[in-house]
Structures are given as structure tokens and as C-alpha cells.
Amino acid sequence: MQTATLRIGTRGSPLALAQARETRARLMAAHRLPEEAFAIEVISTSGDRIQDRPLSEAGGKGLFTKEIEEALLAGSIDIAVHSSKDMPTELPEGLRLSAFLPREDARDGFVGKAAATIESLPHGATVGSSSLRRQALIRRMRPDVSVVTFRGNVQTRLRKLDEGIVDGTILAHAGLKRLGMADVITDLMPLEKFPPAPGQGAICIESRIGDARIEELLAPIHHRDTGLALACERAFLAALDGSCRTPIAGYATVEDDNMHFAGLILSPDGRTAFDVVMDGSVGEPESLGRRAGEFVREKAGTRFFESWT
């Protein structure tokens, strides 16, 4: 890139802007370019505007990407920066996930007002979350707790917590760290007890297929191990037809030439769950994720899905 501006598309929440700025900073360092060489373009998405009902009822996680992807296809932005866990498994024709930044801590953090941990909440306490996965995991841990849908960005949810609307909520540790707000967490949830959403903690960059200039720019900031892990996790999701209607957890790690994957599917009430643990080669991350998804789908049986979809 010479002096032309690279246009970075993003949602307008404080966390989305922090992720766009991190992407810009990495590109500036990799190519020794000034901040003026980049423009961050804020694009309002349906997911941001719809606040009166769960996303699962409004159309799923694609609501956070649709308008940004339309801008990317139209050429009004050059790249789009997303939270990987917001990305549908199928992308619009002509687009691809071309780079992943190094993954942050994938754990969830409990932010408690009535108690420091989910286990120590009083009987009948209320916990707010917009994630079906988190809701199901909370119900599995504490069937007596009331779980309510809790929409809004990080700041909005914390304000609602301070106002006493709920006794606790759960937020991604990675997002709070990127906002410099990790100190609000009262309990970090262990991966084994509270596994993350596929893609949680990872920033991905979407671009147009065949755009050689952009691919050359992004190559130096792509983190190989994060990309491999996400390929596995997204294949697991795809094998399960994962969407906002499905409580699914999945987490892959890379060590040398080996990949380890742990996945979990739950019923929304948290009472029924099926898990899978598999190892494979980093050379075939999609194959590992797909096999894990097919295994857990067969293990659960079709009635498991039909009973609550």
C-alpha cells in the first residue's frame, strides 16, 4: 500500500472499536505506516439495533455482520473486523476470513453483585445473559437460578447489573481485557466447567476473495495457531448446523503439530449434554472439527435436536 487509505469496517460498540484499533495498530507496525493511512468506518448492524428480543428469534448471529459484509462486497470498505464468535459458518459468496489476530483468553468471567461466584449466589437469584450457551451452562450449574435474556454492549450490561436488574452476568474475559475492564470480573470460569463459544476471544478479519493487495497487507498480522484452531471450531459448528438457536461450546488448542479439541452441546435447560474430546493433526483442522461434530451429533441422536428446535 502506498498512500491510499485502508478502510476498516466495524460495528460501533466500544469493544468493536477497540478490536478495529488493535487491527489498525498491528497493520501500522507490520508495514511502518502512520495512523492516517487507515480509516475506521463504523457501520450500524441489525444486531445492534434490535434490542427488544433475543437474537435467536430475530435471525441469528448473522445480524451482527450483514450490513458490514454488504459494505465489503460493495467496495465501500476494504476489510471488516469481527469477533470470531459472531461469524456464521457460511459467509456470503465472494468473502473469506483472511486473517486472525492472536487469540486472547477464551474463558468467560462471572460478574457478581449478590455473590462473587455462580455457586455462591442465593437461591432464586437472577443471572442475565443473551447467549443460549451461557444460559444453558448456568442452568446446568444452578437449576434454581432464574436466567433472563440480557442484551446490550458490555457497558450497558454492567450498568443494568449496577441498577440491580440482575444479581450477576457473564461476559467474555477477552472483551473485558481489550476494554481495560477485566477487574470487574469476580470469578473466572474454568474452561472445563464453563467451555467457551467457538471462536471466543479471537478477532477475525474478513475480506474479498481474490483481493491480492489486501491479502498481502494482512499476511504479516495473521496468527497461524489461532487460524488453525478457529478452522477446527468453525467446522464443528458447521457439522452441527450451529446457530444462535443452539447451545454449543467448542475449543481447540495447537501444540506443535498436534491439535486438541473439546466440544459440548446442551439442551437449553442445561439438563442434557453431550461432549466430545478428540485429537488430530494441525494439517487437517477442518477434518477434526467435522469428525467431532458428527460424533456428538450421532451420540445425541436426532431427537435431542428435534425436542427443542
User: pLDDT by residue (tens digit) across 238-285?
Assistant: 999 754 567 999 999 999 999 999 999 999 999 999 999 999 999 999
Of the candidates 111, 36, 77, 299, the residue with the CA atom closest to the CA atom of residue 205: 77
Question: What domains can be seen in the chain, in order of their start residue?
Answer: 1-101+202-222 (3.40.190.10), 108-188 (3.40.190.10), 223-309 (3.30.160.40)
User: pLDDT by residue (tens digit) across 60-116?
Assistant: 556 778 899 999 999 999 999 999 998 999 999 999 999 999 999 999 999 999 899
Spatial strand order in the sheet of 79-83: 38-42, 6-10, 79-83, 203-208, 95-100
Yes or no: say if 135 and 82 are a contact pair by the CB < 8 Å rule: no
Active site (catalytic) residues: 86
Ramachandran region, residue 28 (left: φ > 0; alpha: ψ -120 to 50; beta: rest): alpha
* End-to-end CA separation in angstroms for the chain: 48
pTM of the model: 0.91
d(CA 245, CA 131): 9
d(CA 137, CA 270): 6
How confident is the prediction for the chain on average, in pLDDT? 91
**At 15, phi and psi to the nearest 5?**
-70, -45
Examine the pLDDT at 4 and tell me if it is beyond 70.
no
User: pLDDT by residue (tens digit) across 127-149?
Assistant: 999 899 999 999 999 999 999 98
What is the structure's pLDDT at 151? 75
Per DSSP bridges, beta strands 38-42 and 168-172 are unpaired
Examine the pLDDT at 53 and tell me if it is beyond 60.
no
The Cα angle at residue 175 between residues 65 and 256, in degrees rounded to 5: 90
Spatial strand order in the sheet of 108-112: 146-148, 126-128, 168-172, 108-112, 187-188
d(CA 228, CA 282): 7
